[in-house]
A = this chain, B = another copy of it.
């Protein structure tokens, strides 16, 4: 057992979910990343989420560096919420959730198709061993890394 692994020092999954661990947050990132949403009303129209919840999620994204606020000199009253590199980097996690949804919750086929912009062919997501190539989850094991509490100290001895 990994122990009390909810502590975000011990597991990057916990750490990630600590920041974006409820569905509205990831759906806001999705709309920003794949639907070009930038304005409060874009997100509200798309998601149908209560304004106070949307507002608190956007504020949290600003404070955690996932989004930044921008204003245009021509339209100073129009605030835009734009993903940072950290926010855009959630793309693979969104795609992984999407492909799981496609496989298990989309009996009529995928609602959305993710394609390579240059050739139009399908995008897939694969696990690979850096030495052996493609692997499945059955071939994956987990060990404590340098960021595991106490581990860096041991490594320094």
Task: Name A's B-contacting residues (CB within 8 A).
Answer: 1-6, 8-19, 21-23, 26-27, 30-31, 33-37, 42, 45-49, 86, 88-119, 121-132, 135, 137, 139-149, 152
Complex Cα gap A115–B20 (Å) = 25
Q: Main secondary structure on chain A at its contact with chain B?
A: mixed
B-side contacts of A99, CB under 8 Å? 12, 92
Complex Cα gap A33–B15 (Å) = 17
Supposing A1-B36, A5-B35, A137-B88 touch, asked if A146 and B108 sit within 8 A by C-beta, the answer is yes
Partner of A126 from B33, B107, B118, B126 at Cβ < 8 Å: B126
- Distance of A11 from chain B, by nearest CB (Å): 5
Contact A2 B34 (CB under 8 A): yes
Complex Cα gap A99–B97 (Å) = 14
Contact A12 B102 (CB under 8 A): yes
Contact A1 B93 (CB under 8 A): no
